[in-house]
Amino acid sequence: MKKFNLFLFLAISLLLGGSIQAQITKDWAQFGRYAAANAQLKKVPKAVFMGNSITDHWAKMDDAFFKENDYLGRGISGQTTSEMLVRFRSDVIAIHPKVVVIMAGINDIAHNNGVISIENMMANITSMCELAQLNNVTPILCSVMPASDFPWRRGMDPAPKVIKLNQLIKAYARLHHLKYVDYHKTFANKVNGMPEKYSKDGVHPNLAGYKVMEGIVSPIVQEVLKNN
């Protein structure tokens, strides 16, 4: 019995040790994702697009849009506003763009990183804006894209939460005289989700969807750059 208890103790210790070590070595906010690319930049971009998988896929699917306009995509799939806020200095401020285009919140609503209130999502977005302005970067705030369900987490009814968060983002932008890019108004269908012609999974735009987004956001970015 004593030998069994000793064996059990050692096994649990090894499991716990491995778990702790994994936590220690995990790059939670994924600073490493763009570290090399940021270090190799030869010129300052006009704008950085900060976001999650929607921004991440966008920069991959229509790389020409970013290169031709001197924009950089700094989206990371699955990220919440908390993770984006943590890496905001390294992936935006340290690059010294004139403008940052922020689209964040859908993964918070999906509870990708645990439960978080809409007010705290907005607080993280607010903090990104304040950090940007303190460092002479003009923030542009984007609405969260519509979603009526999540393919990776069914039954959460995200549509009304997306609308509520967008109302807070829009109000903050108006109060602080920032530009607000309303993708939701253009893309939302009858159930406040993404139409099939613009999204295969109801969350991520396809190339046609990204083309529509480009037509909405690019004139706003150019206007802000001109005014700056």
Question: pLDDT, tens digit, for every residue of 154-183?
Answer: 998 999 999 999 999 999 999 999 999 999
Token couple for 214: 């480009």
Identify the pLDDT of residue 26: 86
Q: Which residues, including other chains, have CB under 8 Å from residue 82's CB and lie 6 or more apart?
A: 108, 113, 116, 124
Identify the pLDDT of residue 8: 44
Q: What is the mean pLDDT of the chain?
A: 91
Whole-structure pTM value: 0.88
Q: What structural domains does the chain harbor?
A: 30-227 (3.40.50.1110)
Identify the pLDDT of residue 25: 65
Identify the band that residue 9 occupies on the pLDDT scale cut at 50, 70 and 90: very low
**pLDDT tens-digit map of 29-68:** 999 999 999 999 999 999 999 999 999 999 999 999 999 9
**pLDDT tens-digit map of 97-123:** 999 999 999 999 999 999 999 999 999
pLDDT at 150 over 50: yes
- Secondary structure of 157-191 in HEC code, one letter for each residue: CCHHHHHHHHHHHHHHHHHCCCEEECHHHHHCCCC
Identify the band that residue 132 occupies on the pLDDT scale cut at 50, 70 and 90: very high
Identify the pLDDT of residue 140: 98
